[in-house]
Structure 1
Amino acid sequence: MGFFERYLSVWVALAIVAGVLLGLAVPGLFQAVAALDYAHVNLAVAVFIWLMVYPMMIQIDFTAIRDVGRKPRGLALTLVINWLIKPFTMAALGWLFFQGLFAPLVDPQTASEYIAGMILLGVAPCTAMVFVWSHLTRGDANYTLVQVAANDLIMVFAFAPIAALLLGVSHITVPWDTLLLSVVLYVVLPLIAGFVTRQALVRGGGEARVASFVHSLKPVSVMGLLATVVVLFGFQAQTILARPMAIVLIAIPLLIQTYGIFAITYWLARRLRLVHNVAGPAALIGTSNFFELAVAVAISLFGLHSGAALATVVGVLVEVPVMLSLVAIVNRTPGWFAQPEQA
């Protein structure tokens, strides 16, 4: 591992602190960056995420994607976790904590909104950052692409009815502009750019040239991740200081959900005898969230300053540091699984 990757947790911690301090010191700058927003997708954040996703897209070999169909267990595991387990465990934890354990600390209306925000996070599996986590665990790029594409396709049909069921409302309006723009920005465009780049590199020097170029982009990818963290925490610096107790209360069940879903998925991946570079991304995909979609729906249903919107924002804040801890677990446990050459 390179210098940046070896101490990535340290850099992220420093980026969190820097984001909060800068958000307090120069709030006007972050307000201006926040205004670069279309369909609840911040374009500055989109650029940084694009920098993270692009190197992995270069590694995708379209001629090998058909091989994914010969190993369907990893894909099946991801879909079962994301659509039959994760939304319901998130709802259960929300009700347990805010209708039970934390009920004396939060008024009933706010508690209901916190639960709603958590549910929206649970019904929105991640589209963009999944590629980053897979890349950091040396995941199978082709398999990860298929997993993300399958989730996005199911999300078009399943997000609204599952969210409506768990929220107890009759109808959920899916913000199609947010969903489609995110998929185009985070998947389609970097995939096209990666394909074009890969073709040029293969013609110029074969797979060795591809590997060398991807390796050279690792510092750029890490810087994109750190910039994303700074911006996200800078956006929410005022909220973090103004409502620290609310953030802590929401973060507790979210952390339990995140680590719990990861543990279940990783254990099942081992039981299914998945290879490590499929098992790791499968567990991470089932753990992370599509926060742009969750935030957009929370705002449309409950309002910009609602408890539901705050809950989705807390989901954004805890995701990167928590997911990096899970990446570390995956990278330390390859011996639990078969390796690709053994499969």
Structure 2
Amino acid sequence: MTDQTVSASQDQPRLSLVSKLLPLWIILAMAIGLLLGRFAPDLGKALQPGIPLGLFIMIFPAMTKLKLEEIKGAVRDWKAAAIVVFFNYAVNPFLLYGIGWIFLRDHPDLWTGLVLLGVAPCIAMVLVWTDLARGNGPLGIVLMAWNSLIQIVTTPFFIWLILGKQASVDISLVAQSVLLYLGLPLLTGVLSRRWMLKNKGESWFKKKALPVLDDIQLIALIATLVVMFALQGDVILQHPELIYLMAVPLVLFFFLLFFGVLFVSRRAGFCYADAATTSFHCTGRNFELAIAIALTAFASQPMVGVSTVIGPLIEVPLMLTIVYLAKKFEWTLFGTNTAGACSRNSLPQSNLNQ
């Protein structure tokens, strides 16, 4: 929505083989984890202490992309920021709670896991979805910065507000999880970014460091999922209906929210690239944080952890489907086929005056 938007498609990094085949890796991770849980359960237990490190590594690379000094860009792009804040923090937690009431009220632990997936927006994979959908990369980084900062405060609050009366929630453990798996990666990521830019330069950072960090992030995700499915393998194999029970509300949520926000963004005057970026930042879920909270604050309720582990298994193919549909709907909704670039005439009026 600034001048950077026009060249956003050229600035977007190419996805590596690891990123392009992510759904396959997740399916393989699930299968390997289930097999380990079935035939080598002690191995999963031995690897369990590595889960916190894996969760940290999953989130850290995304934080190295944050340009906190560019948060002021959301003042110029105030419409996108307003839409993202409204849907992520005034709609999503309660929407998933309501959908959970419809489909999962007889399964309270799964309902709790669904709520955990709803309280925090995605801050890592969302950049991959934006890239695949030919969205506005610079705008996405600004929105990710806002989401990273806001959810540090709002996540414990929403868990207390929504789940406090239904589950025994130790809010101090929730807060510790948020600080450990969100606050610490944010601090170390921002400091690491500044060090690399100062000592190695921007070109090296973008061309050398970021691709490696992206692959490390996804490898950490895959490794962590292997361990988690190994720990919960028996439960999932004995109750395969858990995947179906979680899939129905999540499919409804993702499609309703993404295309609802896409329509709102179109009505606000956004071009396709900006509308798609805004929609992904409202729709993607921070399953890394949800898993971390489930494994710590809800350790006595293992089915909560199972439900959050199932989350990425469902989210990844769903989001890839939405990416495909979004590009197909570009001409229908926006009358353009811009390959991610916004012409100057398609920008919201508030930005044309700058």
Structure 2-normalised TM-score? Answer: 0.72
Is contact 1:124–1:293 with CA below 8 Å preserved after alignment?
A: no
Aligned residues: 316
- Structure 1 distance, partners of 2:171, 2:121, is 17
Deviation, structure 1 residue 117: 3.4
| Alignment match, 1:87 | 93
Is contact 2:34–2:237 with CA below 8 Å preserved after alignment?
A: no
| Alignment match, 1:150 | 150
Amino acid at match of 2:208: F
Secondary structure of the residue aligned to 1:35 is helix
Deviation, structure 1 residue 259: 2.6
Tell me if 1:213 matches 2:208.
yes
Residues 172-181 or 328-337, more deviating: 328-337
* C-alpha distance 316-150 of structure 1, shift in aligned 2 (>3 A): same
**CA distances 1:198-231 after superposition (whole Å, capped 9, x unpaired):** 23233xxxx4444322564254444344334434
Is contact 2:93–2:118 with CA below 8 Å preserved after alignment?
A: yes
Amino acid at match of 2:182: V
Aligned counterpart in structure 1 of residue 49 of structure 2, from 30, 35, 41 = 35
Amino acid at match of 1:257: F
* 1:1-343 mapped onto 2 (5 Å cutoff): 1-2=14-15, 4=17, 5-36=19-50, 42-50=52-60, 52-53=61-62, 57-58=64-65, 60-98=66-104, 108=106, 111-127=107-123, 129-130=125-126, 133=129, 139-140=137-138, 141-164=141-164, 167=165, 173-174=171-172, 175-202=174-201, 207-214=202-209, 216-217=211-212, 218-274=214-270, 278-287=274-283, 288-289=285-286, 290-292=289-291, 294-295=293-294, 299=298, 303-305=300-302, 307-327=303-323, 329=325, 336=334, 339=341, 342=344, 343=347
Deviation, structure 1 residue 193: 1.0
Deviation, structure 1 residue 90: 1.6
- Structure 1 distance, partners of 2:132, 2:217, is 10
| Alignment match, 1:104 | none
Q: Which runs of 5+ in 1 are unaligned?
A: 100-107
* C-alpha distance 212-250 of structure 1, shift in aligned 2 (>3 A): closer
Deviation, structure 1 residue 70: 1.1
Secondary structure of the residue aligned to 1:47 is helix
Q: Which runs of 5+ in 2 are unaligned?
A: 1-13, 348-354
* C-alpha distance 75-313 of structure 1, shift in aligned 2 (>3 A): same
Residues 285-294 or 249-258, more deviating: 285-294
- Structure 1 distance, partners of 2:268, 2:276, is 13
Amino acid at match of 1:197: M
Identical residues among aligned pairs (%): 24
Secondary structure of the residue aligned to 2:298 is helix
Deviation, structure 1 residue 87: 2.1
Runs of 4+ residues over 6 Å off in structure 1: 169-172, 331-335
- Structure 1 distance, partners of 2:330, 2:205, is 24
- Structure 2 distance, partners of 1:196, 1:276, is 35
* C-alpha distance 321-16 of structure 1, shift in aligned 2 (>3 A): farther
- Structure 1 distance, partners of 2:180, 2:45, is 22
- Structure 1 distance, partners of 2:223, 2:31, is 12
- Structure 2 distance, partners of 1:134, 1:192, is 25
Is contact 1:93–1:253 with CA below 8 Å preserved after alignment?
A: yes
* C-alpha distance 250-273 of structure 1, shift in aligned 2 (>3 A): same
- Structure 2 distance, partners of 1:234, 1:171, is 26
- Structure 1 distance, partners of 2:167, 2:196, is 46
Amino acid at match of 1:299: F
**CA distances 1:4-57 after superposition (whole Å, capped 9, x unpaired):** 1444433433333333334434332221221345xxxx223322443x426xx2
Deviation, structure 1 residue 119: 2.9
Q: RMSD of the TM alignment (CA)?
A: 3.5
* C-alpha distance 147-334 of structure 1, shift in aligned 2 (>3 A): farther
Residues 325-334 or 238-247, more deviating: 325-334
* C-alpha distance 17-309 of structure 1, shift in aligned 2 (>3 A): closer
Deviation, structure 1 residue 160: 2.1
